[in-house]
Chain A
Amino acid sequence: MSLATPVRFSTLPCKDKAAIAIITGLAVFVRLYKIWQPSSVVFDEVHFGGFASKYIKGAYFMDVHPPLAKLLITLTGWLSGFDGQFDFKDIGKDYVTAGVPYVAMRLLPGLLGVMVIPLCFLTLKAYGCSRLSASIGALFILFDNALATQSRFILLDSPLIFFTALTAYAWVNFQNQTAFTRHWYWYLFLTGLSLGATVSVKWVGLFTIAWVGVGTLIGLWDLLGDLSVTPGQYAKHFFLRAVFLILVPVLFYLGMFAIHFICLVNPGDGDGFMSSEFQNSLNNKGMADTPANVAVGSHITLRHLNTQGGYLHSHDHLYPGGSQQQQITLYPHKDSNNVWLIENVTESEIDYRETGPRYLKDGDWIRLQHVVTSRRLHSHDIRPSVTEADWQNEASCYGYEGFGGDANDNFRVEIVESKTKPGKAREQVRAIETKFRLIHQMTGCALFSHKVKLPSWGFEQQEVTCAKQGTLPNSIWYIEHNEHPLLDASEDKVNYPKISFWQKFSELQKVMWDTNNGLVASHTWDSRPESWPWLRRGINFWVKDHRQIYLLGNFFTWWLTSLAIVVYSVFVFIVVLRWQRGYKDYYAPAVKDYSWKVGSNVVGWALHYFPFFLMQRQLFLHHYLPALYFAVLAFVVGFDIFCKTVLKRRLLVVVVSSVLVLGSISVYVTMSPLIYGEKWTKDECNRLKVLPHWDFDCNAFYADKSMYENGNSGKSRLEEAIEKASERLSASNSEELHKASETHAGEEEEYVQVYEEHDEL
């Protein structure tokens, strides 16, 4: 594809600069108009505002998105004096009384949203578009309701789209440069850098990487056919692209996580997602060294290796089903109910106090006595209450004080060599270093746990069973804390190994990936990808005081750009068919231009759109916005070629362009109350329900604008009820993750409760 001449802002004609200035000025107004309104928490500000306060406090948290945008938001908040003492807990929570500098924090996404508009103009110029066409594209982006709404709040999408647009700008310009010149290097570097930034905002940036990757491969393929390029030069081309387009983004991405870990040094609500080694690296969370050698008579705590469920736990509550014996669970917090006493099965009569410590070895038979209740870990041929699989046995706690135990209490220690530190720990059980299975004597099953929560009767703690065919990783345990009366301070001690940046990084990536895939529950405002290009339904962001914010695109733009993609696909289909029949359409420069330049953007659109079909997780309309950006570029580039080859006459071009711009503006203006949360009336609102699925709540508005001045006195009881209902709906907006953290918080309360109960014992 041969693009037009290189475009740089400094070399643009004055008229272009003027156009950019005017449109950007307009953008400042459109994007930042009343950005302080509403003065309460909107939609996912719940998360991203919350993360900012956690960064400032340094409290470790877990989120499915990489850190860049959240760090930027934190930075603006911190610079404007935010102290992190606001929890952003619910949609609609008031900022003003709490003194949160939310306007400054919103300005970051807002200003990045403004910057997208000149970038769009320059990118279109680089594609060889006329000033008029480039302006149309910039105005389409400018007057898109969804982009305007999304960039007004503390959300990640505006930074994401900014960096995507920056990548597109740099990449298109790179292709216009002569190889190995200064500008060629600069734009190659900028492409790599902005790719790194995009993927450091959201993993959706991987689609942008794929787009640049496809372009690179095509470019290298063309270069291969150019016989004037020597193999040496070709290797240089190849190598430089690898450095700038692979190495630079990777380093940038790693750098962001390095900053992330530097910021989050204290324990927080994200600990539960991470491994023990990881948690041990956080301030105040590290544990004291513990004696290494485990012996009969040791008081120990046992941890499950593969999940973060925590310690083997029992408490004075019974299973409601099955054997109705005492529950065995995994519990993530330190508690006296996690403590077990190791008893020897074969030599139970021998008092180790006289014979000296008898160290625990591979193959020893033991019983584990729960110290608080004096019952023993037990298993039998009864199905567990929750996972009723035929290969699972219940694990319970059975017995009473003075009871000697029975054969169903016997477990064999079996060291798993591949997971255990080489050396002594493979022969003798050592705290932390030795990983082992506990095999039940009578049934041959192994003590097992997996990520399944018990219902409320088990305080939503993690299920523990004894599994005959459990996977190995889920059957592995180790001793974290070890105490023995005969082992004094001089014993050799162990602790968790120090964890390196690489280990932290790779562990976090895996946790993010798994958590992301786990977000599958349905959500009131989620939608599937097939509904996006025709704008079937929006998202309710916020409803309060008879005002409403609802994310919905500019349907004029959306439908037009979707149509442009359909037109392009049909066009290519016909041209390819004709090409096979020997027609020489490709000799016409307009056809070639259309195929390549629009094609590049259609591929960009497709790569940012189709992968969503493969995702099982909950999806929202705003996931389409990066694809929309490419769809707009595709439309405008195509329109520009259409003007130059078909319309031709200046007057005609101006008329058609004006119609397009006016169409876009008029939709923007009429729907704008939903962007800014402005006054509106029921009738105006109802009139604009163009599609039946647009479910913004017109009943939330007054019948007449004058009622806004009268304030609450005009509220009927019915309206109040409706308002409450809508608030409830919007309150359910927060994503599953938020729910997870909420329930987590709830659990902790319950844990505390349980703990107190135990204290009484």
Chain B
Amino acid sequence: MSSTGVNGSSTQPRLRKGRADAAPNKQVEEVKVHNFAEEEDITIEAVEKVIAPIFFTVLAFLTRMYKIGVSDIVTWDEAHFGKFGSHYLKREFYFDVHPPLGKMLVGLSGFLCGYNGSFEFKSGDHYPPEVNYTFMRVFNATFGALCVPVAYFTAKSLKFSTAATWLVTLMVLCENSYATISRFILLDSMLMLFTFTTFLGLAKFHTYRTKPFTIGWWFWMLFTGFNIGCVTSVKWVGMLTTALVGIYTIQELWEKFGDLKMPFATYMKHWAARIICLIIVPMAIYMLSFKLHFMILENSGPGDAQMSSLFQANLKNSPLTKGPLDVAFGSKVTVKNMGYGGGLLHSHVQTYPEGSEQQQVTCYHHKDTNNDWVFVPVRTDAPYDHEGEIRYVKSGDKVRLIHDMTGRNLHSHNIAAPMTKNEWEVSCYGNDTVGDDKDNWIVEVVKDTHRDKKVHTLTSTLRFRNEPLGCYLRAANVALPQWGFKQIEVACAPDTVVWDRFTHWNIEQHTNDRLPPAEATSYRSPFLRDFVHLNVAMMTSNNALVPDPDKRDDLASRPWQWPVLNVGLRMCGWGNDTVKYYLLGNPIVVWSSTASLGIFALLTFIYICRWKRQYRDMTREQFEYYVYSGLYPALGWALHYFPFILMARVTYVHHYLPALYFAIMTFGFLFDYITSRVFGKLTYILRPVSYVFAYAAVVGVFWLFSPISFGLTGDHEDYSYLNWLSTWTI
């Protein structure tokens, strides 16, 4: 905060011209030399542009598909994703923490090879003959293979030299973990491809920075947006890639904001173009994938319970019956909490061991008759008459809820709830005649698809307010101790907001002989509501994937282990008669890319400090090259890596694969940057030599480790020479 420096620099700018100019001059010379070379080799350049990508693609398909069908065992998470694919073929609703696009593609691959969805995909089982798992794996491996040419074109767009482009492409090609994980029915190959294409889109888009609103500009922006949509629809990790594009976009718009010559209308056009291509298009793709998901999965299945009552009732063969639409006094109902994981309002004869010591009220997922409640008028109104006119329950009505099995009233009072001490206890108390006004609840309809003010089965979102206390009935997934059978605590919250999902309830089952059954169209569930509900459920259950601190988990690993590669993952059983796969990166690739990140950070730090000391090391072009081809990939690595450290959920080695790609790009940049600077006069000879050496190392180590990707057969002891580190378990 001391400002001596600021003052000093603003009043006496002392540019160290001598030193600042020296470096650029040298650069210019170099560039010139380089240009001559280009002119001479112009035909070679053109040939390289065509031949190299084809060459690498062919190799990619070879490495990804060689011996792909040799293991007929359900390997690693094929048990999950194969099963989810089957659900699409059987059209049964299931629930998973990942968005649907990747799994729908798996389903599609099964559909294409005529699989009917009947196989259970139990981990370690042999595939039956009717499942053409080889085709399904090839389908997945195609995504993995395409990553290689994408890497090639990305490096080209980042203006890497041809040698560096080849190096980067080779590193992606010869990365054992990429080759291994692409061979199975998993989401990772798709995730990788869409991550890489998003970055390709960004790099291409950047080359059009000076030519806004041209066709190429529009195309590559749209391409980027499309791929953001795809990558986030495969796994939410795609949000990290999105963040990279977001940072780039903000930076670009910020620079344009400072461009005083740009007319306001043009600036707005820039905004609009980005909002459409980078926000609306991805959102549309994401939502479309869910729309398809809902359309395909029309039957009741294992995932019903995660959805709202209304959604469940609309699935074919659902056990939920559709009772009469309007709720009236005298109706017998079950009441479900709408918060995530909410159960049915429940009571049983056991009493609270503390507090009021009255009968317990809880939330419970199991269906039994203790969940039945009857709507009854409050004692000051006319009592319920079975013969009389039907009185519908409307928003704002005072009601009592009587527990059907015990005949007691839902009740609350100024006694702290057993777990959530700042809310009131809810109990069951008295009977039809014994009781006080604390049995009175005011029904409030928060949301509904029907617009009359009546309370409806399934469609109405309700809140129950205790009349004298003014508190709201709430169940927030706090489990009671053993005396409450670990069911969920129900309390009355004196202080809550209208959008608090845990205070929202809906009528699930409704029986009343005197009311007509509902019309078929009454219970339509709006897509947006289901979409939001499912996403909230996915997020909550993703956050709940917290490892048990007492349980030893040999498969999970901590993020710090990934860049140093001190851990691998056995993808299947380790018996002598099975073909075994071990997920481990190419050590040379992982270690060198990690080292490059550290060196790059150090180099950047030195440049910044020198800049502050008034050294001018770079020209504008060099600076931009450094930022967009070096800093952005490094930033991409950081964005794909550090969030995992903050995540409480269980993490695995394969979570590092997208980050590794950005680390490889950083390595390519740095290798090129350094080899063209440090050798001085000997650059013309030492640079090619170092490249050849690097190519050889990458390919050689891949070759050495290729058994872990193509399958280890026989005794695993035969391969113990691959255990370079004591922590590897090949």
Give chain A's interface residues, CB within 8 Å of chain B: 1-2, 175, 215, 218-219, 221-228, 387, 389, 391, 448, 450, 455, 467, 469-472, 474, 521-526, 577, 580-582, 596, 600, 693, 725, 732
* Cross-chain contact A470 with B612 (CB below 8 angstroms): no
* Cross-chain contact A581 with B8 (CB below 8 angstroms): no
Q: A410 CB to closest chain B CB, in angstroms?
A: 22
From the candidates A225, A522, A524, A596, name the one contacting B1 in the complex (CB within 8 A): A596
* Cross-chain contact B2 with A1 (CB below 8 angstroms): yes
| CA A223 to CA B482, docked complex, whole Å | 63
Name, among B4, B6, B548, B550, the residue most crowded by chain A CB atoms within 10 Å (CB to CB).
B550
Closest to B258 in A: A580
* Cross-chain contact B420 with A222 (CB below 8 angstroms): no
* Cross-chain contact B260 with A227 (CB below 8 angstroms): no
Closest to B483 in A: A455
- Whether, in the assembled complex, B619 has its beta carbon less than 8 Å from a beta carbon of chain A, the answer is no
From the candidates A219, A448, A474, name the one contacting B2 in the complex (CB within 8 A): A219
* Cross-chain contact A221 with B550 (CB below 8 angstroms): no
Closest to A455 in B: B482
* Cross-chain contact B481 with A455 (CB below 8 angstroms): yes
* List of A residues within 8 angstroms of B7 by Cβ: 2
From the candidates A175, A224, A725, name the one contacting B613 in the complex (CB within 8 A): A224
Q: List 20 A-B contacts (CB under 8 A).
A: A175-B1, A218-B2, A222-B1, A222-B5, A223-B4, A223-B5, A224-B609, A224-B613, A225-B8, A226-B5, A227-B9, A387-B550, A389-B548, A448-B550, A455-B481, A471-B549, A471-B551, A474-B550, A523-B421, A581-B257
* List of A residues within 8 angstroms of B609 by Cβ: 224
Closest to A219 in B: B2
From the candidates B3, B420, B614, name the one contacting A2 in the complex (CB within 8 A): B3
Q: A-facing mask of B253-265, CB < 8 A → 1, else 0?
A: 0100110100000
* Cross-chain contact B9 with A225 (CB below 8 angstroms): yes
Q: A518 CB to closest chain B CB, in angstroms?
A: 13
* Cross-chain contact B614 with A227 (CB below 8 angstroms): yes
Q: A-facing mask of B543-557, CB < 8 A → 1, else 0?
A: 000001111110000
Q: A228 CB to closest chain B CB, in angstroms?
A: 7
Chain B's interface size range is: 20 to 34
* Cross-chain contact B8 with A524 (CB below 8 angstroms): no
* Cross-chain contact B552 with A221 (CB below 8 angstroms): no
* List of A residues within 8 angstroms of B551 by Cβ: 389, 391, 467, 469-471
- Whether, in the assembled complex, B422 has its beta carbon less than 8 Å from a beta carbon of chain A, the answer is yes
From the candidates B416, B495, B550, name the one contacting A693 in the complex (CB within 8 A): B495
* List of B residues within 8 angstroms of A732 by Cβ: 416, 421
Q: A237 CB to closest chain B CB, in angstroms?
A: 10
Closest to A388 in B: B486
Closest to B495 in A: A693
Give chain B's interface residues, CB within 8 Å of chain A: 1-9, 14, 254, 257-258, 260, 414, 416, 419-422, 481-482, 495, 548-553, 609, 612-614
Q: B418 CB to closest chain A CB, in angstroms?
A: 11
Q: A621 CB to closest chain B CB, in angstroms?
A: 13
4 closest A-B pairs by beta carbon, nearest first, are A222-B5, A225-B5, A226-B5, A580-B258
Q: B209 CB to closest chain A CB, in angstroms?
A: 18
From the candidates A215, A227, A387, name the one contacting B8 in the complex (CB within 8 A): A227
Name, among A221, A577, A582, A693, the residue most crowded by chain B CB atoms within 10 Å (CB to CB).
A221
* Cross-chain contact A1 with B3 (CB below 8 angstroms): yes
Given contacts A225-B9, A225-B613, A471-B552, contact A526 B4 (CB under 8 A): no
Given contacts A225-B613, A389-B548, A469-B551, contact A580 B5 (CB under 8 A): no
* List of B residues within 8 angstroms of A522 by Cβ: 419-422
Given contacts A522-B419, A523-B421, contact A221 B257 (CB under 8 A): no
Closest to A596 in B: B1
Sample of 7 more A-B contacts, CB < 8 Å, known A223-B4, A469-B552, A525-B422? A222-B1, A225-B8, A227-B614, A469-B553, A472-B552, A596-B3, A693-B495
| CA A219 to CA B1, docked complex, whole Å | 5
* List of B residues within 8 angstroms of A226 by Cβ: 4-5, 8-9
| CA A450 to CA B550, docked complex, whole Å | 7
* List of B residues within 8 angstroms of A470 by Cβ: 550-552
Name, among B9, B422, B481, the residue most crowded by chain A CB atoms within 10 Å (CB to CB).
B422
* List of A residues within 8 angstroms of B260 by Cβ: 581-582
| CA A563 to CA B422, docked complex, whole Å | 29
| CA A525 to CA B7, docked complex, whole Å | 51
* Cross-chain contact A225 with B612 (CB below 8 angstroms): yes
* Cross-chain contact B552 with A224 (CB below 8 angstroms): no
Name, among B1, B420, B422, the residue most crowded by chain A CB atoms within 10 Å (CB to CB).
B1
Q: B13 CB to closest chain A CB, in angstroms?
A: 10
* List of B residues within 8 angstroms of A215 by Cβ: 1
Closest to A599 in B: B1
* List of B residues within 8 angstroms of A596 by Cβ: 1, 3
Closest to B8 in A: A226
* List of A residues within 8 angstroms of B3 by Cβ: 1-2, 222, 596
* List of A residues within 8 angstroms of B2 by Cβ: 1-2, 175, 218-219, 222-223
| CA A389 to CA B553, docked complex, whole Å | 14
Q: B499 CB to closest chain A CB, in angstroms?
A: 15
Closest to A218 in B: B1
* List of B residues within 8 angstroms of A175 by Cβ: 1-2
* Cross-chain contact A224 with B420 (CB below 8 angstroms): no
| CA A391 to CA B553, docked complex, whole Å | 11
Closest to B420 in A: A522
| CA A742 to CA B257, docked complex, whole Å | 63
From the candidates B6, B422, B550, B612, name the one contacting A526 in the complex (CB within 8 A): B422
| CA A223 to CA B6, docked complex, whole Å | 9
Closest to A224 in B: B612
* Cross-chain contact B8 with A228 (CB below 8 angstroms): yes
* List of B residues within 8 angstroms of A219 by Cβ: 1-2
| CA A522 to CA B254, docked complex, whole Å | 45
From the candidates A2, A471, A524, name the one contacting B550 in the complex (CB within 8 A): A471
* List of B residues within 8 angstroms of A469 by Cβ: 551-553
Q: B278 CB to closest chain A CB, in angstroms?
A: 21
* List of B residues within 8 angstroms of A218 by Cβ: 1-2
* Cross-chain contact A524 with B257 (CB below 8 angstroms): no
Q: A169 CB to closest chain B CB, in angstroms?
A: 15
| CA A472 to CA B552, docked complex, whole Å | 7
* List of A residues within 8 angstroms of B419 by Cβ: 522
Given contacts A175-B1, A524-B421, contact A221 B548 (CB under 8 A): no
* List of B residues within 8 angstroms of A1 by Cβ: 1-3
* List of B residues within 8 angstroms of A387 by Cβ: 550
| CA A395 to CA B580, docked complex, whole Å | 36
Q: A705 CB to closest chain B CB, in angstroms?
A: 28
Closest to B1 in A: A1
* Cross-chain contact A222 with B552 (CB below 8 angstroms): no
Closest to B646 in A: A614
Q: A451 CB to closest chain B CB, in angstroms?
A: 9
Given contacts A469-B552, A469-B553, contact A581 B258 (CB under 8 A): yes
Closest to B419 in A: A522
| CA A2 to CA B549, docked complex, whole Å | 52
| CA A474 to CA B551, docked complex, whole Å | 9
* List of A residues within 8 angstroms of B4 by Cβ: 222-223, 226
Given contacts A469-B553, A470-B550, A526-B422, contact A222 B6 (CB under 8 A): yes
Q: A443 CB to closest chain B CB, in angstroms?
A: 16
Closest to B553 in A: A469
Q: B335 CB to closest chain A CB, in angstroms?
A: 25
Q: B529 CB to closest chain A CB, in angstroms?
A: 27
| CA A472 to CA B495, docked complex, whole Å | 45
Closest to A603 in B: B1
Closest to A732 in B: B421
| CA A582 to CA B262, docked complex, whole Å | 13
| CA A562 to CA B665, docked complex, whole Å | 46
Closest to B4 in A: A226
* Cross-chain contact B422 with A523 (CB below 8 angstroms): yes
Q: A182 CB to closest chain B CB, in angstroms?
A: 18
| CA A219 to CA B3, docked complex, whole Å | 7
| CA A455 to CA B483, docked complex, whole Å | 10
* List of B residues within 8 angstroms of A455 by Cβ: 481-482
